[in-house]
Chain A
Amino acid sequence: MTTTAAPPQAPASTEPPVHKASLRKRLVPYWLLLPGILWLLVFFVLPMVYQASTSVQTGSLEEGFQVTWHFGTYWDAFTEYYPQFLRSLLYAGTATALCLLLGYPLAYLIAFKAGRWRNLLLVLVIAPFFTSFLIRTLAWKTILADGGPVVAVLNNIGFLDVTSWLGMTEGDRVLATPLAVVCGLTYNFLPFMILPLYSSLERIDTRLHEAAGDLYARPATVFRKVTFPLSMPGVVSGTLLTFIPASGDYVNAELLGSTDTRMIGNVIQSQYLRILDYPTAAALSFILMAIVLIMVTIYIRRAGTEDLV
C-alpha cells in the first residue's frame, strides 16, 4: 500500500473524493425515498398482487385455495352483484351532488363573507374529523328515529311524499331507507368537499368580482362567469374526495340502512369476513377499483384539470 506516498494536497488524489461526494449527493433523494417507498411497495403494491392472485384461485376454506386462473369468478361475481354495484354508484353519486350543493354555500360563506368569524367556522368544519365518525353516524339513528321530530317535520311539509315517489323512502319512515343512507353518506363526506372548495375559493382575487360588477354583470352572472369557473379545481378535487370513498363505504348502509340498501362495500366485507369466499371477494374488490378508476379518469379528462395532484 502506498497511502503515505501520496500527499493529501496532490492534485491526483483530490479527484476521487469530489467524485465520491457528488455520487453521494446524487444518492440523497434515493435514501430519503427508500423507507417510505419500500413501505408502500410491500404493504400497498404487493397486497394488490396477492389479491389479484386470490381472485383467480378456486377451492374452499377446508381444502385450501389454489391458483387455477379461473377468470370466471369475475363474471360470476359481477352478474350476481351488479345491483349492489349500481346502487353504490347511485348512492355515492347522489351524496356527492348533495355535498356539492350543500358545501358550496358554506365554503363561499367562509371564503368571502365570514370576516372575523372565518377561523371559527373553519374550526367547526374541521373539528368533526376528530370525533369518531362512527359515533356521529350512530347519532343519525336518533335524529331520524321513527316518529321523531325530524321525520314529523319532513312528513308535514310533504317532503316524504316526494322521496317515496322517488323510491327513496317508504311510508313515514326514514330510517332503514335509501334516504337515510344517502343522508349519512352526505354528512360523512361533507368536510372532504368543503375544504378543497374553500381553498380554491380563497385564492380568488376579489378584485375580479369588482371588475365584473363594474362591467355591469349582475351577481348571478358574476358567479356563473367568474367565481364558479375559477373554483373548478376545488369542485373537481372535492367531488373526487367525496365520490371515491363513498362508493366503497359500507358503514352508513349497515348502520342506517336495511338489507335492501346494501352497497358493494357491504358485499365485499361479508364475503371476506363472514362467508370467507376469498376469490369472489377479491374479484369484487378489483371490479370496484376498476370502475372507480375508469370513472375518475374520464371525469378528470372532461373536467379538464389534469394538473390537480
Chain B
Amino acid sequence: MRNPLTWLRRNLVVIAGLGTLAYMILPNVVVTVFSFNNPTGRFNYAWQEFSLDAWKDPCGVADMCGSLSLSLQIALWSTLVATALGTAIAFALVRYRFRARGAVNSLIFLPMAMPEIVMAASLLALFLNMGIQLGFWTILIAHIMFCLSFVVAAVKARVLSMDPRLEEAARDLYAGPVQTFVRVTLPIAAPGIAAGALLSFALSFDDFIITNFNSGNTVTFPMFVWGSAQRGTPVQINVIGTAMFVIAVLVVLAGQMVGNRRKKAQPK
C-alpha cells in the first residue's frame, strides 16, 4: 500500500462492486430501522423515536395479516401446480423428440419476453369478456400461468446437464421405468425442481402488476402495501418486510449448508 492511487486502481472492481451491493442493501436497512420507529401521523417515512410496539403486535393493523395469509395460500397453491405442470413440460422438452417442439419452446419463452402489464391486461380482457368474477381464483389462475415458464426454465437447465447414462445404468440393473424415475431421475432433477419451486413461490408472493389487474376486491399482501402508500403505511409493514428478509437469508443459507454437506458426503 505504498501508493494510494495504485491501490485504488487495483481494487477498483472490489470498491465498485461493494458500492453496488450497498445500493442494493440500503432499502432493506431502512426497512429494518424504520420497523422500530414510532411515527406521528399516517406515514412511516420520517424517523421519530425508537419503539418496539410494532414488533410486539405485528398483526395489530386491520386486514394486514389476513392479506398476508391470503398471499401465502396463493403462493403455495400456484407453486404446487406450476411446479408439477412445469416439471412435466421440462421433461417432455428435454427427453423426447416430437412434432411442434419448437412451437412449445416459443410458447414457454413468450411469457418471460413480454412486459408483465401486457399479460395482466389481456387476462383482464378475457375475464371481463367472459363475465368471470375477479378474486381468489382469477389471481391463482394468473399466478400459475406466469410461474409456469420460470419452472420450466429452471428444471430444463438441470435435466439438460444430467447424464442420461445414469438412467440407462438403472435400466440395465433391471429397474422398471417407475423405479428408475423415482430412485434415479427425480433425485438428480430435485435441485432444479426445488429452484423452480422457490422461484415461483417468490414471484407469486411478491407479484403486484398482474394481481393488481385481476384481483377485483381481493387484497393480497402486495395489494395491501400498495393501498397503504395512499392511505397510510403502518409500521407493521416494515416488521413483515424485515422478517421476510431474515427468513429468506436463513432459508438460503440453510439450503447451501445442506448442499455443501451433500457434496462432501458423496465426492464425485
The judgment on whether A and B are partners is: yes
Chain A residues proximal to chain B, CB less than 8 Å: 26, 28-30, 32-33, 35-37, 39-41, 43-48, 50-51, 53-54, 102-103, 105-110, 113, 119, 121, 123-143, 145, 187, 190-191, 194, 240, 244-245, 247-251, 255, 265, 268-269, 272-273, 278, 281-282, 285-286, 288-289, 292-293, 296, 309
Asked whether A289 lies within 8 Å of B252 as measured between CB atoms, the reply is: no
Partner of B226, one of A39, A134, A268: A134
With known contacts A50-B122, A119-B256, A309-B109, A130–B247 Cβ distance under 8 A:
yes
Note all chain A residues with C-beta closer than 8 A to B26: 139, 143
Contact of A105 with B148 in the complex, beta carbons under 8 Å = no
Which of chain B's residues have a CB closer than 8 A to the CB of A309? 105, 109
- Compute how far the CA of A30 lies from the CA of B248 in the bound complex, rounded to whole angstroms: 37
Binds A, one of B28-36, B53-61, B167-175, B183-191: B28-36
Known: A32-B89, A131-B248, A269-B212. A143 touches B117 (CB 8 A): no
In the complex, what's the smallest C-beta–C-beta distance from A203 to chain B, in angstroms? 12
Interchain nearest-CB distance for B23 vs A (Å)? 7
Residues in chain A near residue B17, CB distance under 8 A: 105-110, 113
A interface secondary structure, majority: helix
Given A126-B252, A272-B213, the answer on whether A136 and B206 have CB atoms closer than 8 Å is no
Shortest beta-carbon distance from A191 to chain B in Å: 8
List chain B residues, Cβ under 8 A from A245: 115-116
- Interface pair A113/B14, CB less than 8 Å apart: yes
In whole angstroms, how far apart are the Cα atoms of A167 and B261 in the complex?
54
Asked if B248 contacts A43 (CB within 8 A), the reply is: no
Chain A residues within 8 Å of B212, by CB: 269, 273
Contact: B229 with A255, CB < 8 Å?
Answer: yes
If the complex has contacts A129-B206, A132-B222, A139-B27, are A35 and B245 also in contact, measured as CB distance less than 8 A?
no
Q: Which residues of B contact A265 (CB under 8 A)?
A: 115, 117, 209
The answer for the CA separation of A293 and B27 in the assembled complex, in Å, is 32
Interface residues on B, range: 35 or more
- Assess the A127–B245 pair: CB atoms within 8 A: yes
Closest-CB distance, A64 to chain B (whole angstroms): 11
Residue of B at shortest CB range from A137?
A: B27
* B135 contacts A by Cβ under 8 Å: no
| New A-B contacts (11) at CB < 8 Å, excluding given A109-B18, A136-B28, A296-B113 | A29-B92, A29-B95, A32-B96, A33-B92, A40-B108, A51-B121, A105-B20, A107-B17, A113-B17, A138-B45, A269-B213
Q: Which of A40, A121, A129, A142 contacts B21 (CB 8 A)?
A: A121
Contact of A32 among B46, B88, B119, B124 (CB under 8 A): B88
B186 smallest CB distance to A (angstroms) = 14
Min CB gap B219→A, angstroms: 13
User: Which of A35, A43, A54, A293 is close to B141, meaning CB atoms less than 8 Å apart?
Assistant: A43
CB distance from A135 to the nearest CB of B (A): 4
Which of B23, B117, B253 contacts A269, CB < 8 Å?
B117
User: For the complex, is B24 an interface residue (Cβ under 8 Å from A)?
Assistant: yes
B107 to chain A, nearest CB (A): 6
- Counting chain A CB atoms within 10 Å of each CB, which of B17, B111, B205, B229 scores highest? B17
Q: Are A136 and B118 in contact (CB under 8 A)?
A: no
Interface residue? B196 (CB, 8 A):
no
Residues of chain A lying within 8 A (CB to CB) of residue B221: 132
